[in-house]
Chain A
Amino acid sequence: MTDALRLPVAEKRDLRLGYLRLNDSAPLVMAQELGLYERYGLAVQLEREISWANLRDKLVIGELDAAQMLSPLPLATAMGVGGMRAEVMSGLALSLNGNAITVSRELSSELERHGGRVAEGARSTARALGDYYRSARQPPELTFAAAHSFSCHIFLLRLWLQCGGIDPERDVRIIVLPPEQMVDSLARGIIDGYCVGEPWNSMAVHQGIGVIPATGYQLWNNSLEKVLAVTEHWHRQHTATHLRLRLALMEACRWLSDPSHRLQAADVLAQPQYLNLPVEFLRPALAGELVTSRGQPPLPMPDFHVFGRYQAGFPWRSDGEWLASQTSALLGKTLPAERCKSLVQQTYRTDLYREAARHLSLPAPATDYRPVNAHDASWELSPGILLGADQRLAPAGGAV
Protein backbone atom coordinates (compact mmCIF):
# COMPACT_ATOMS: atom_id res chain seq x y z
CA MET A 1 0.00 0.00 0.00
CA THR A 2 1.19 3.47 -0.76
CA ASP A 3 0.65 6.62 1.23
CA ALA A 4 -2.18 8.31 -0.66
CA LEU A 5 -1.34 11.65 0.95
CA ARG A 6 2.01 11.78 -0.77
CA LEU A 7 0.51 11.31 -4.23
CA PRO A 8 -0.09 14.30 -6.48
CA VAL A 9 -3.46 15.90 -5.76
CA ALA A 10 -6.32 14.55 -7.86
CA GLU A 11 -7.57 17.02 -10.48
CA LYS A 12 -11.04 15.55 -10.13
CA ARG A 13 -12.57 13.70 -7.21
CA ASP A 14 -15.97 12.56 -8.47
CA LEU A 15 -15.58 9.96 -11.21
CA ARG A 16 -17.98 7.93 -13.29
CA LEU A 17 -16.75 4.47 -14.29
CA GLY A 18 -18.48 2.30 -16.88
CA TYR A 19 -18.72 -1.49 -16.82
CA LEU A 20 -20.77 -4.32 -18.28
CA ARG A 21 -22.48 -7.26 -16.57
CA LEU A 22 -19.55 -9.67 -16.44
CA ASN A 23 -17.64 -11.59 -13.76
CA ASP A 24 -14.50 -9.72 -14.63
CA SER A 25 -15.98 -6.37 -13.68
CA ALA A 26 -14.99 -7.61 -10.21
CA PRO A 27 -12.01 -5.21 -9.81
CA LEU A 28 -14.16 -2.11 -10.42
CA VAL A 29 -16.89 -3.37 -8.11
CA MET A 30 -14.64 -4.65 -5.33
CA ALA A 31 -12.62 -1.42 -5.29
CA GLN A 32 -15.91 0.28 -4.44
CA GLU A 33 -17.00 -2.29 -1.85
CA LEU A 34 -13.59 -2.36 -0.15
CA GLY A 35 -13.36 1.44 0.00
CA LEU A 36 -10.25 1.50 -2.18
CA TYR A 37 -11.33 4.44 -4.34
CA GLU A 38 -11.94 6.36 -1.14
CA ARG A 39 -8.51 5.43 0.16
CA TYR A 40 -7.07 7.22 -2.87
CA GLY A 41 -9.29 10.24 -2.40
CA LEU A 42 -11.74 9.37 -5.17
CA ALA A 43 -15.53 9.20 -5.10
CA VAL A 44 -16.57 6.77 -7.81
CA GLN A 45 -19.98 6.18 -9.26
CA LEU A 46 -20.20 2.89 -11.16
CA GLU A 47 -22.33 3.01 -14.29
CA ARG A 48 -23.64 -0.26 -15.70
CA GLU A 49 -23.78 -0.01 -19.47
CA ILE A 50 -25.84 -2.14 -21.80
CA SER A 51 -23.49 -2.32 -24.80
CA TRP A 52 -19.81 -1.84 -25.55
CA ALA A 53 -20.80 0.78 -28.12
CA ASN A 54 -22.55 2.83 -25.41
CA LEU A 55 -19.61 2.45 -23.07
CA ARG A 56 -17.15 3.52 -25.76
CA ASP A 57 -19.23 6.50 -26.90
CA LYS A 58 -19.85 7.76 -23.36
CA LEU A 59 -16.14 7.48 -22.64
CA VAL A 60 -15.25 9.37 -25.80
CA ILE A 61 -17.70 12.23 -25.23
CA GLY A 62 -16.71 12.48 -21.56
CA GLU A 63 -19.91 11.18 -19.93
CA LEU A 64 -17.67 8.53 -18.36
CA ASP A 65 -14.23 9.27 -16.96
CA ALA A 66 -12.92 5.74 -17.35
CA ALA A 67 -14.29 2.32 -18.25
CA GLN A 68 -13.65 -1.38 -18.26
CA MET A 69 -13.00 -2.28 -21.89
CA LEU A 70 -12.41 -5.37 -23.99
CA SER A 71 -8.67 -5.42 -24.58
CA PRO A 72 -8.89 -4.94 -28.40
CA LEU A 73 -11.46 -2.12 -28.13
CA PRO A 74 -9.06 0.78 -27.44
CA LEU A 75 -7.12 -0.35 -30.52
CA ALA A 76 -10.25 -0.68 -32.66
CA THR A 77 -11.45 2.74 -31.48
CA ALA A 78 -8.08 4.31 -32.27
CA MET A 79 -8.28 2.67 -35.71
CA GLY A 80 -11.81 4.02 -36.13
CA VAL A 81 -13.36 0.72 -37.17
CA GLY A 82 -16.94 -0.20 -36.43
CA GLY A 83 -18.03 3.08 -34.89
CA MET A 84 -16.52 6.18 -33.38
CA ARG A 85 -12.84 7.04 -33.85
CA ALA A 86 -10.94 8.42 -30.88
CA GLU A 87 -7.65 8.08 -29.07
CA VAL A 88 -8.37 5.68 -26.25
CA MET A 89 -5.60 4.13 -24.20
CA SER A 90 -4.88 1.97 -21.20
CA GLY A 91 -2.21 1.96 -18.52
CA LEU A 92 -3.63 -0.99 -16.62
CA ALA A 93 -5.03 -4.38 -17.54
CA LEU A 94 -7.80 -5.51 -15.21
CA SER A 95 -7.97 -9.24 -15.90
CA LEU A 96 -6.64 -12.19 -17.89
CA ASN A 97 -8.76 -14.96 -19.44
CA GLY A 98 -12.38 -15.24 -18.26
CA ASN A 99 -14.03 -16.40 -21.50
CA ALA A 100 -15.34 -19.74 -22.69
CA ILE A 101 -17.02 -21.32 -25.68
CA THR A 102 -20.46 -22.84 -25.16
CA VAL A 103 -22.20 -25.10 -27.68
CA SER A 104 -25.67 -26.59 -27.89
CA ARG A 105 -26.26 -30.06 -26.44
CA GLU A 106 -26.67 -31.41 -29.99
CA LEU A 107 -23.34 -30.05 -31.18
CA SER A 108 -21.73 -31.21 -27.95
CA SER A 109 -22.84 -34.81 -28.62
CA GLU A 110 -21.36 -34.58 -32.10
CA LEU A 111 -18.08 -33.38 -30.61
CA GLU A 112 -18.12 -36.30 -28.19
CA ARG A 113 -18.95 -38.75 -30.95
CA HIS A 114 -15.88 -37.48 -32.83
CA GLY A 115 -13.58 -37.93 -29.87
CA GLY A 116 -13.69 -34.44 -28.38
CA ARG A 117 -13.00 -34.49 -24.65
CA VAL A 118 -13.53 -31.27 -22.74
CA ALA A 119 -11.20 -32.41 -19.96
CA GLU A 120 -8.43 -32.87 -22.54
CA GLY A 121 -8.67 -29.27 -23.57
CA ALA A 122 -9.63 -27.05 -26.46
CA ARG A 123 -7.43 -28.79 -29.05
CA SER A 124 -9.29 -32.06 -28.57
CA THR A 125 -12.72 -30.49 -29.08
CA ALA A 126 -11.50 -28.30 -31.96
CA ARG A 127 -10.26 -31.37 -33.83
CA ALA A 128 -13.53 -33.15 -33.11
CA LEU A 129 -15.43 -30.20 -34.55
CA GLY A 130 -13.28 -30.33 -37.69
CA ASP A 131 -13.84 -34.09 -38.04
CA TYR A 132 -17.57 -33.65 -37.58
CA TYR A 133 -17.68 -30.85 -40.14
CA ARG A 134 -15.73 -32.77 -42.77
CA SER A 135 -17.22 -36.23 -42.19
CA ALA A 136 -20.81 -35.15 -42.80
CA ARG A 137 -22.11 -35.88 -46.29
CA GLN A 138 -23.37 -32.33 -46.39
CA PRO A 139 -21.30 -29.92 -44.28
CA PRO A 140 -23.48 -28.73 -41.36
CA GLU A 141 -24.53 -25.10 -41.41
CA LEU A 142 -23.15 -23.77 -38.18
CA THR A 143 -23.73 -20.33 -36.67
CA PHE A 144 -21.66 -19.02 -33.79
CA ALA A 145 -22.02 -15.79 -31.86
CA ALA A 146 -19.70 -13.47 -29.99
CA ALA A 147 -20.45 -10.39 -27.94
CA HIS A 148 -18.52 -7.86 -30.00
CA SER A 149 -16.79 -7.65 -33.37
CA PHE A 150 -13.49 -6.58 -31.85
CA SER A 151 -13.20 -8.79 -28.82
CA CYS A 152 -11.04 -11.59 -27.59
CA HIS A 153 -14.22 -13.67 -27.91
CA ILE A 154 -14.17 -13.45 -31.68
CA PHE A 155 -10.43 -14.03 -31.87
CA LEU A 156 -10.59 -17.04 -29.52
CA LEU A 157 -13.55 -18.48 -31.37
CA ARG A 158 -11.68 -18.12 -34.65
CA LEU A 159 -8.62 -19.78 -33.12
CA TRP A 160 -10.72 -22.73 -31.98
CA LEU A 161 -12.32 -23.12 -35.41
CA GLN A 162 -8.99 -22.76 -37.22
CA CYS A 163 -7.38 -25.29 -34.90
CA GLY A 164 -10.00 -27.74 -36.14
CA GLY A 165 -9.23 -26.82 -39.75
CA ILE A 166 -12.40 -24.81 -40.17
CA ASP A 167 -12.30 -21.50 -42.03
CA PRO A 168 -14.15 -18.96 -39.86
CA GLU A 169 -14.96 -16.83 -42.91
CA ARG A 170 -16.29 -19.46 -45.29
CA ASP A 171 -17.26 -22.60 -43.39
CA VAL A 172 -19.36 -21.09 -40.61
CA ARG A 173 -21.33 -17.96 -39.86
CA ILE A 174 -20.25 -15.73 -36.99
CA ILE A 175 -22.65 -13.08 -35.72
CA VAL A 176 -22.65 -10.60 -32.86
CA LEU A 177 -25.26 -10.88 -30.11
CA PRO A 178 -25.61 -9.19 -26.72
CA PRO A 179 -24.44 -11.60 -23.96
CA GLU A 180 -27.90 -11.49 -22.39
CA GLN A 181 -29.37 -13.01 -25.55
CA MET A 182 -26.83 -15.82 -25.99
CA VAL A 183 -28.43 -18.49 -23.80
CA ASP A 184 -31.90 -17.91 -25.17
CA SER A 185 -30.66 -17.90 -28.77
CA LEU A 186 -28.84 -21.18 -28.12
CA ALA A 187 -31.97 -22.70 -26.56
CA ARG A 188 -34.05 -21.66 -29.55
CA GLY A 189 -31.55 -23.10 -32.02
CA ILE A 190 -30.79 -19.74 -33.64
CA ILE A 191 -27.11 -20.31 -32.92
CA ASP A 192 -25.07 -23.49 -32.39
CA GLY A 193 -22.54 -21.98 -30.05
CA TYR A 194 -20.94 -18.83 -28.78
CA CYS A 195 -17.86 -17.40 -27.16
CA VAL A 196 -18.46 -14.93 -24.37
CA GLY A 197 -17.24 -13.91 -20.93
CA GLU A 198 -18.58 -15.39 -17.74
CA PRO A 199 -21.19 -15.80 -16.29
CA TRP A 200 -22.94 -16.26 -19.64
CA ASN A 201 -21.40 -19.72 -20.22
CA SER A 202 -22.06 -21.11 -16.76
CA MET A 203 -25.61 -19.82 -17.05
CA ALA A 204 -26.26 -22.04 -20.09
CA VAL A 205 -24.63 -25.01 -18.36
CA HIS A 206 -26.61 -24.43 -15.17
CA GLN A 207 -29.85 -24.40 -17.14
CA GLY A 208 -28.87 -27.52 -19.08
CA ILE A 209 -29.00 -25.62 -22.38
CA GLY A 210 -25.31 -25.66 -23.33
CA VAL A 211 -22.01 -27.43 -22.77
CA ILE A 212 -18.57 -25.81 -22.55
CA PRO A 213 -16.07 -27.51 -24.92
CA ALA A 214 -13.24 -24.98 -24.48
CA THR A 215 -12.18 -22.19 -22.18
CA GLY A 216 -10.41 -19.00 -23.17
CA TYR A 217 -7.48 -20.04 -20.99
CA GLN A 218 -7.07 -23.27 -22.99
CA LEU A 219 -7.12 -21.38 -26.28
CA TRP A 220 -4.55 -18.80 -25.23
CA ASN A 221 -3.09 -19.00 -21.74
CA ASN A 222 -3.32 -15.78 -19.77
CA SER A 223 -4.34 -13.47 -22.57
CA LEU A 224 -5.18 -9.86 -21.82
CA GLU A 225 -8.94 -9.63 -21.43
CA LYS A 226 -10.22 -6.38 -19.89
CA VAL A 227 -8.33 -3.13 -19.55
CA LEU A 228 -8.97 0.15 -17.80
CA ALA A 229 -9.59 2.56 -20.66
CA VAL A 230 -9.47 6.36 -20.69
CA THR A 231 -9.18 8.81 -23.55
CA GLU A 232 -5.79 10.33 -24.30
CA HIS A 233 -7.38 13.73 -23.75
CA TRP A 234 -8.76 12.79 -20.31
CA HIS A 235 -5.42 11.32 -19.26
CA ARG A 236 -3.58 14.53 -20.14
CA GLN A 237 -5.99 16.60 -18.06
CA HIS A 238 -6.22 14.16 -15.15
CA THR A 239 -2.79 12.56 -14.82
CA ALA A 240 -2.85 12.44 -11.01
CA THR A 241 -6.46 11.23 -10.88
CA HIS A 242 -5.63 8.51 -13.38
CA LEU A 243 -2.69 7.36 -11.24
CA ARG A 244 -4.87 7.21 -8.11
CA LEU A 245 -7.52 5.28 -9.99
CA ARG A 246 -5.00 2.73 -11.25
CA LEU A 247 -3.59 2.28 -7.75
CA ALA A 248 -7.05 1.68 -6.27
CA LEU A 249 -7.81 -0.89 -8.97
CA MET A 250 -4.44 -2.60 -8.61
CA GLU A 251 -5.18 -3.08 -4.93
CA ALA A 252 -8.60 -4.51 -5.81
CA CYS A 253 -6.94 -6.91 -8.26
CA ARG A 254 -4.45 -7.96 -5.60
CA TRP A 255 -7.33 -8.64 -3.20
CA LEU A 256 -9.02 -10.73 -5.90
CA SER A 257 -5.84 -12.72 -6.50
CA ASP A 258 -6.44 -14.44 -3.15
CA PRO A 259 -8.60 -17.51 -3.95
CA SER A 260 -10.28 -17.29 -0.55
CA HIS A 261 -11.85 -13.93 -1.54
CA ARG A 262 -13.44 -15.12 -4.75
CA LEU A 263 -16.71 -16.43 -3.34
CA GLN A 264 -17.17 -13.20 -1.43
CA ALA A 265 -16.66 -11.32 -4.70
CA ALA A 266 -19.27 -13.56 -6.35
CA ASP A 267 -21.80 -12.70 -3.63
CA VAL A 268 -21.18 -8.98 -4.09
CA LEU A 269 -21.24 -9.07 -7.90
CA ALA A 270 -24.52 -11.00 -7.96
CA GLN A 271 -26.36 -8.17 -6.17
CA PRO A 272 -29.12 -6.24 -7.97
CA GLN A 273 -27.10 -3.03 -8.32
CA TYR A 274 -24.28 -4.88 -10.09
CA LEU A 275 -24.84 -8.01 -12.24
CA ASN A 276 -28.29 -8.77 -10.84
CA LEU A 277 -27.98 -12.51 -11.46
CA PRO A 278 -28.24 -15.67 -9.33
CA VAL A 279 -24.91 -16.17 -7.57
CA GLU A 280 -24.82 -19.83 -8.73
CA PHE A 281 -24.04 -18.58 -12.25
CA LEU A 282 -21.06 -16.58 -11.01
CA ARG A 283 -19.46 -18.98 -8.56
CA PRO A 284 -17.96 -21.73 -10.76
CA ALA A 285 -15.67 -19.51 -12.83
CA LEU A 286 -14.74 -17.17 -9.99
CA ALA A 287 -13.95 -20.11 -7.71
CA GLY A 288 -11.87 -21.68 -10.51
CA GLU A 289 -13.98 -24.83 -10.52
CA LEU A 290 -15.80 -24.83 -13.80
CA VAL A 291 -18.75 -27.09 -14.46
CA THR A 292 -18.66 -27.69 -18.22
CA SER A 293 -21.79 -29.80 -18.47
CA ARG A 294 -24.77 -29.97 -16.13
CA GLY A 295 -24.50 -32.79 -13.63
CA GLN A 296 -20.78 -33.33 -14.22
CA PRO A 297 -18.24 -32.75 -11.47
CA PRO A 298 -16.40 -29.41 -11.71
CA LEU A 299 -13.01 -29.29 -13.42
CA PRO A 300 -10.29 -27.47 -11.49
CA MET A 301 -9.34 -24.32 -13.45
CA PRO A 302 -7.59 -22.01 -11.00
CA ASP A 303 -6.55 -19.61 -13.78
CA PHE A 304 -9.97 -19.32 -15.42
CA HIS A 305 -10.04 -15.71 -14.20
CA VAL A 306 -6.71 -14.12 -13.33
CA PHE A 307 -6.62 -10.85 -11.39
CA GLY A 308 -3.40 -9.45 -9.98
CA ARG A 309 -1.28 -12.59 -10.37
CA TYR A 310 1.25 -13.17 -13.16
CA GLN A 311 1.69 -9.41 -13.69
CA ALA A 312 -1.94 -9.39 -14.85
CA GLY A 313 -2.09 -5.62 -14.73
CA PHE A 314 0.69 -5.17 -17.27
CA PRO A 315 -0.62 -4.11 -20.71
CA TRP A 316 1.77 -6.25 -22.76
CA ARG A 317 2.53 -4.71 -26.13
CA SER A 318 3.14 -8.20 -27.49
CA ASP A 319 -0.49 -9.02 -26.77
CA GLY A 320 -1.56 -5.64 -28.12
CA GLU A 321 0.21 -6.23 -31.41
CA TRP A 322 -1.41 -9.63 -31.82
CA LEU A 323 -4.84 -8.15 -31.07
CA ALA A 324 -4.25 -5.29 -33.52
CA SER A 325 -3.19 -7.70 -36.25
CA GLN A 326 -6.26 -9.89 -35.59
CA THR A 327 -8.48 -6.81 -35.75
CA SER A 328 -7.02 -5.96 -39.17
CA ALA A 329 -7.32 -9.55 -40.35
CA LEU A 330 -11.00 -9.47 -39.44
CA LEU A 331 -11.40 -6.44 -41.70
CA GLY A 332 -9.56 -8.24 -44.48
CA LYS A 333 -6.60 -5.91 -44.20
CA THR A 334 -2.97 -6.20 -43.18
CA LEU A 335 -1.63 -3.67 -40.74
CA PRO A 336 1.92 -2.65 -41.67
CA ALA A 337 4.31 -3.70 -38.88
CA GLU A 338 5.44 -0.14 -38.15
CA ARG A 339 1.90 1.20 -37.97
CA CYS A 340 0.93 -1.70 -35.72
CA LYS A 341 3.83 -1.00 -33.38
CA SER A 342 3.15 2.72 -33.08
CA LEU A 343 -0.60 2.19 -32.64
CA VAL A 344 0.03 -0.24 -29.79
CA GLN A 345 2.65 2.03 -28.26
CA GLN A 346 0.13 4.88 -28.05
CA THR A 347 -2.64 2.63 -26.80
CA TYR A 348 -1.00 0.21 -24.38
CA ARG A 349 0.90 2.41 -21.95
CA THR A 350 3.35 0.13 -20.17
CA ASP A 351 5.08 3.25 -18.80
CA LEU A 352 1.92 4.15 -16.88
CA TYR A 353 1.76 0.65 -15.41
CA ARG A 354 5.38 0.90 -14.25
CA GLU A 355 4.71 4.30 -12.69
CA ALA A 356 1.84 2.85 -10.64
CA ALA A 357 3.81 -0.27 -9.70
CA ARG A 358 6.61 1.92 -8.32
CA HIS A 359 4.13 3.63 -5.99
CA LEU A 360 3.03 0.25 -4.68
CA SER A 361 6.65 -0.98 -4.47
CA LEU A 362 5.78 -3.82 -6.82
CA PRO A 363 8.23 -5.19 -9.36
CA ALA A 364 7.21 -4.66 -12.99
CA PRO A 365 8.52 -6.29 -16.18
CA ALA A 366 11.37 -4.38 -17.81
CA THR A 367 10.33 -5.62 -21.25
CA ASP A 368 7.06 -4.80 -23.05
CA TYR A 369 6.93 -8.16 -24.80
CA ARG A 370 6.14 -11.61 -23.44
CA PRO A 371 6.73 -14.81 -25.38
CA VAL A 372 4.11 -17.11 -26.90
CA ASN A 373 4.23 -20.91 -26.81
CA ALA A 374 7.36 -20.93 -24.66
CA HIS A 375 6.01 -22.06 -21.27
CA ASP A 376 3.30 -24.49 -20.26
CA ALA A 377 3.46 -23.59 -16.58
CA SER A 378 4.18 -20.45 -14.58
CA TRP A 379 7.75 -19.22 -14.84
CA GLU A 380 10.05 -16.47 -13.66
CA LEU A 381 10.72 -13.67 -16.13
CA SER A 382 13.24 -12.08 -13.80
CA PRO A 383 13.78 -12.36 -10.04
CA GLY A 384 10.47 -11.73 -8.28
CA ILE A 385 8.44 -11.53 -11.51
CA LEU A 386 6.28 -14.58 -12.01
CA LEU A 387 4.40 -14.95 -15.30
CA GLY A 388 1.77 -17.52 -16.23
CA ALA A 389 1.87 -20.13 -18.97
CA ASP A 390 1.73 -18.74 -22.53
CA GLN A 391 0.48 -21.48 -24.85
CA ARG A 392 -1.72 -20.39 -27.74
CA LEU A 393 -3.51 -22.81 -30.06
CA ALA A 394 -2.34 -22.72 -33.65
CA PRO A 395 -4.45 -23.17 -36.79
CA ALA A 396 -4.39 -26.79 -38.00
CA GLY A 397 -1.32 -27.40 -40.17
CA GLY A 398 -0.52 -23.72 -40.49
CA ALA A 399 1.55 -20.95 -38.99
CA VAL A 400 0.28 -18.87 -36.07
Chain B
Amino acid sequence: MPSTAALRVILVDDNAERANAVARGLALPGLEIISVIPTASGLLYQMAQQEPDVVVIALDSPDRDVLESLSIASSHNPRPVVMFSGSGDSGFIGDAIRAGVTAYQAEDIQPERVKAVIDVAMAQFSAFNDLRQELDRTRAQLADRKRVEKAKGLISAIHGVDEEEAFRTLRKLAMDQNQTLGEVARNVIAVLEKSRPERK
Protein backbone atom coordinates (compact mmCIF):
# COMPACT_ATOMS: atom_id res chain seq x y z
CA MET B 1 0.00 0.00 0.00
CA PRO B 2 1.43 3.37 -0.91
CA SER B 3 -0.06 4.96 2.20
CA THR B 4 2.09 2.95 4.57
CA ALA B 5 5.35 2.99 2.60
CA ALA B 6 7.90 5.56 3.73
CA LEU B 7 7.62 8.96 2.04
CA ARG B 8 10.65 9.40 -0.17
CA VAL B 9 12.01 12.92 0.21
CA ILE B 10 14.59 14.91 -1.76
CA LEU B 11 15.96 18.00 -0.06
CA VAL B 12 17.35 20.85 -2.20
CA ASP B 13 19.38 23.41 -0.28
CA ASP B 14 22.72 24.98 -1.13
CA ASN B 15 23.41 25.81 2.52
CA ALA B 16 25.10 22.58 3.63
CA GLU B 17 24.89 23.32 7.33
CA ARG B 18 21.18 24.05 7.20
CA ALA B 19 20.55 21.08 4.90
CA ASN B 20 22.20 18.79 7.44
CA ALA B 21 20.07 20.18 10.23
CA VAL B 22 16.89 19.73 8.21
CA ALA B 23 17.88 16.21 7.14
CA ARG B 24 18.53 15.28 10.78
CA GLY B 25 15.15 16.70 11.72
CA LEU B 26 13.50 14.66 9.01
CA ALA B 27 15.06 11.40 10.13
CA LEU B 28 11.69 10.16 11.35
CA PRO B 29 9.76 6.94 11.03
CA GLY B 30 7.73 6.97 7.83
CA LEU B 31 10.19 9.27 6.06
CA GLU B 32 13.17 8.44 3.95
CA ILE B 33 15.56 11.17 2.80
CA ILE B 34 16.74 9.74 -0.50
CA SER B 35 19.05 12.62 -1.33
CA VAL B 36 20.22 16.03 -0.26
CA ILE B 37 21.42 18.12 -3.19
CA PRO B 38 22.74 21.67 -3.31
CA THR B 39 21.19 22.73 -6.61
CA ALA B 40 18.68 21.49 -9.10
CA SER B 41 21.31 21.09 -11.79
CA GLY B 42 21.03 17.35 -11.53
CA LEU B 43 17.54 17.60 -10.12
CA LEU B 44 15.97 16.62 -13.44
CA TYR B 45 18.11 13.50 -13.42
CA GLN B 46 17.41 12.83 -9.75
CA MET B 47 13.69 13.21 -10.31
CA ALA B 48 13.77 10.69 -13.13
CA GLN B 49 15.99 8.22 -11.28
CA GLN B 50 14.57 8.44 -7.78
CA GLU B 51 10.93 9.35 -8.31
CA PRO B 52 10.57 11.15 -4.98
CA ASP B 53 7.20 11.64 -3.30
CA VAL B 54 8.17 15.00 -1.87
CA VAL B 55 10.75 17.64 -2.76
CA VAL B 56 11.58 20.11 -0.02
CA ILE B 57 13.37 23.15 -1.44
CA ALA B 58 14.92 26.23 0.14
CA LEU B 59 13.47 29.52 -1.04
CA ASP B 60 16.93 30.91 -1.70
CA SER B 61 17.54 28.15 -4.26
CA PRO B 62 17.27 29.55 -7.79
CA ASP B 63 15.82 26.24 -8.96
CA ARG B 64 12.17 26.50 -7.99
CA ASP B 65 11.16 27.45 -11.53
CA VAL B 66 12.97 24.35 -12.76
CA LEU B 67 11.13 22.19 -10.30
CA GLU B 68 7.76 23.70 -11.17
CA SER B 69 8.38 23.07 -14.85
CA LEU B 70 8.23 19.36 -14.03
CA SER B 71 4.58 19.68 -13.13
CA ILE B 72 3.81 20.17 -16.81
CA ALA B 73 3.00 16.86 -18.36
CA SER B 74 5.72 15.74 -20.69
CA SER B 75 7.17 12.45 -21.78
CA HIS B 76 10.51 12.86 -20.01
CA ASN B 77 9.04 14.00 -16.70
CA PRO B 78 8.21 10.79 -14.91
CA ARG B 79 6.52 12.21 -11.89
CA PRO B 80 4.32 15.28 -11.90
CA VAL B 81 4.75 17.42 -8.83
CA VAL B 82 2.34 19.96 -7.51
CA MET B 83 3.03 22.48 -4.85
CA PHE B 84 1.81 21.45 -1.46
CA SER B 85 -1.60 23.04 -1.04
CA GLY B 86 -3.61 20.12 0.20
CA SER B 87 -5.17 21.37 3.40
CA GLY B 88 -6.36 24.53 1.68
CA ASP B 89 -4.74 26.37 4.57
CA SER B 90 -3.04 29.31 2.87
CA GLY B 91 -1.76 30.60 6.22
CA PHE B 92 0.30 27.46 6.52
CA ILE B 93 1.90 28.01 3.11
CA GLY B 94 2.63 31.60 4.10
CA ASP B 95 4.35 30.47 7.29
CA ALA B 96 6.51 28.03 5.35
CA ILE B 97 7.47 30.68 2.81
CA ARG B 98 8.28 33.20 5.51
CA ALA B 99 10.47 30.56 7.14
CA GLY B 100 12.28 30.24 3.80
CA VAL B 101 11.17 26.83 2.63
CA THR B 102 8.56 25.24 0.43
CA ALA B 103 7.71 21.80 -0.89
CA TYR B 104 6.32 19.94 -3.85
CA GLN B 105 4.61 16.61 -3.79
CA ALA B 106 3.77 13.89 -6.25
CA GLU B 107 0.13 13.96 -7.23
CA ASP B 108 -0.83 10.66 -5.61
CA ILE B 109 0.43 11.45 -2.11
CA GLN B 110 -1.92 12.42 0.68
CA PRO B 111 -1.39 16.10 1.53
CA GLU B 112 -1.71 15.43 5.26
CA ARG B 113 1.39 13.25 5.22
CA VAL B 114 3.31 15.98 3.43
CA LYS B 115 2.20 18.59 5.92
CA ALA B 116 4.13 16.75 8.61
CA VAL B 117 7.28 16.91 6.49
CA ILE B 118 6.88 20.63 5.93
CA ASP B 119 6.18 21.22 9.62
CA VAL B 120 9.51 19.66 10.47
CA ALA B 121 11.39 21.42 7.68
CA MET B 122 9.81 24.72 8.63
CA ALA B 123 10.77 24.30 12.28
CA GLN B 124 14.36 23.49 11.28
CA PHE B 125 14.56 26.47 8.95
CA SER B 126 13.18 28.78 11.63
CA ALA B 127 15.57 27.39 14.19
CA PHE B 128 18.44 27.88 11.79
CA ASN B 129 17.39 31.46 11.08
CA ASP B 130 17.05 32.15 14.81
CA LEU B 131 20.47 30.67 15.37
CA ARG B 132 21.94 32.90 12.69
CA GLN B 133 20.22 35.96 14.13
CA GLU B 134 21.48 34.99 17.57
CA LEU B 135 24.98 34.72 16.14
CA ASP B 136 24.66 38.12 14.46
CA ARG B 137 23.46 39.61 17.74
CA THR B 138 26.32 38.09 19.67
CA ARG B 139 28.80 39.38 17.14
CA ALA B 140 27.28 42.85 17.34
CA GLN B 141 27.44 42.80 21.15
CA LEU B 142 31.06 41.74 21.04
CA ALA B 143 31.89 44.53 18.60
CA ASP B 144 30.08 47.02 20.86
CA ARG B 145 32.03 45.86 23.88
CA LYS B 146 35.31 46.28 22.01
CA ARG B 147 34.25 49.75 20.92
CA VAL B 148 33.37 50.79 24.47
CA GLU B 149 36.78 49.56 25.67
CA LYS B 150 38.49 51.54 22.95
CA ALA B 151 36.47 54.69 23.66
CA LYS B 152 37.27 54.35 27.38
CA GLY B 153 40.95 54.10 26.57
CA LEU B 154 40.86 57.13 24.30
CA ILE B 155 39.00 59.26 26.86
CA SER B 156 41.35 58.37 29.69
CA ALA B 157 44.43 58.95 27.52
CA ILE B 158 43.31 62.30 26.20
CA HIS B 159 41.59 63.70 29.26
CA GLY B 160 43.91 62.13 31.80
CA VAL B 161 41.14 60.41 33.80
CA ASP B 162 40.98 56.82 34.98
CA GLU B 163 38.98 54.19 33.08
CA GLU B 164 36.15 54.20 35.60
CA GLU B 165 35.69 57.94 35.16
CA ALA B 166 35.90 57.49 31.37
CA PHE B 167 33.15 54.85 31.51
CA ARG B 168 30.92 57.13 33.61
CA THR B 169 31.40 59.85 30.98
CA LEU B 170 30.33 57.43 28.26
CA ARG B 171 27.30 56.29 30.22
CA LYS B 172 26.21 59.88 30.87
CA LEU B 173 26.58 60.71 27.16
CA ALA B 174 24.49 57.68 26.28
CA MET B 175 21.72 58.68 28.69
CA ASP B 176 21.76 62.33 27.65
CA GLN B 177 21.65 61.51 23.95
CA ASN B 178 19.28 58.59 24.34
CA GLN B 179 21.72 56.30 22.52
CA THR B 180 23.20 52.92 23.30
CA LEU B 181 26.68 52.70 24.81
CA GLY B 182 27.89 51.17 21.54
CA GLU B 183 26.59 54.08 19.48
CA VAL B 184 28.10 56.65 21.82
CA ALA B 185 31.42 54.79 21.80
CA ARG B 186 31.39 54.83 18.00
CA ASN B 187 30.86 58.61 17.94
CA VAL B 188 33.45 59.24 20.63
CA ILE B 189 36.02 57.19 18.74
CA ALA B 190 35.26 59.07 15.52
CA VAL B 191 35.71 62.46 17.22
CA LEU B 192 38.71 61.60 19.40
CA GLU B 193 40.63 59.76 16.71
CA LYS B 194 40.34 62.83 14.51
CA SER B 195 41.49 65.16 17.25
CA ARG B 196 44.23 63.02 18.77
CA PRO B 197 47.00 63.37 16.14
CA GLU B 198 46.76 67.18 16.41
CA ARG B 199 47.12 67.07 20.17
CA LYS B 200 50.17 64.88 20.07
Contact = CB atoms under 8 A, between A and B. Distances in A.
Interface of A: 50-54, 57-58, 61-63, 81-85, 147-149, 173, 175-178, 180-181, 185, 330-332
B60 A149 contact: no
Contacts of B90: 61
B97 A149 contact: no
15 contacts: A50-B59, A50-B60, A50-B61, A50-B62, A61-B90, A62-B94, A81-B71, A82-B71, A83-B68, A148-B69, A173-B76, A178-B66, A181-B62, A185-B41, A331-B72
Contact of A51 (B63, B94, B97): B63
Contact of A177 (B61, B66, B71, B94): B66
A83 B66 contact: no
Contacts of A61: 90, 93-94, 97-98
A148 B98 contact: no
Interface string B76-119: 10000001010000100110011000100000000000000000
Interface of B: 41, 44, 59-69, 71-73, 76, 83, 85, 90, 93-94, 97-98, 102
Contacts of A181: 41, 62
Contacts of A52: 65
A172 to B, nearest CB: 12
What does DSSP make chain A's interface, helix, strand, loop or mixed? loop
A53 B93 contact: no
B66 A176 contact: yes
A82 B60 contact: no
A175 B97 contact: no
A297 B175 CA distance: 66
A327 B97 CA distance: 26
Nearest to A50: B62
B73 A63 contact: no
A147 B62 CA distance: 11
Contact of B73 (A51, A148, A331): A331
A50 B102 CA distance: 14
Contact of A148 (B63, B65, B83, B97): B65
B59 A54 contact: yes
A62 B72 CA distance: 26
A54 B64 CA distance: 8
A149 B93 contact: no
Contacts of B59: 50, 54
B65 A180 contact: no
A358 to B, nearest CB: 35
Contacts of A331: 72-73
Nearest to A176: B69
Nearest to B95: A61
Contact of A332 (B67, B73, B85): B73
Contact of A180 (B62, B64, B85): B62
A149 B77 CA distance: 14
A175 B69 contact: yes
A273 B85 CA distance: 34
A82 B69 contact: yes
Contact of A57 (B63, B67, B72, B97): B97
Contacts of B64: 51, 53-54
Given A53-B68, A176-B65, A84 B44 contact: no
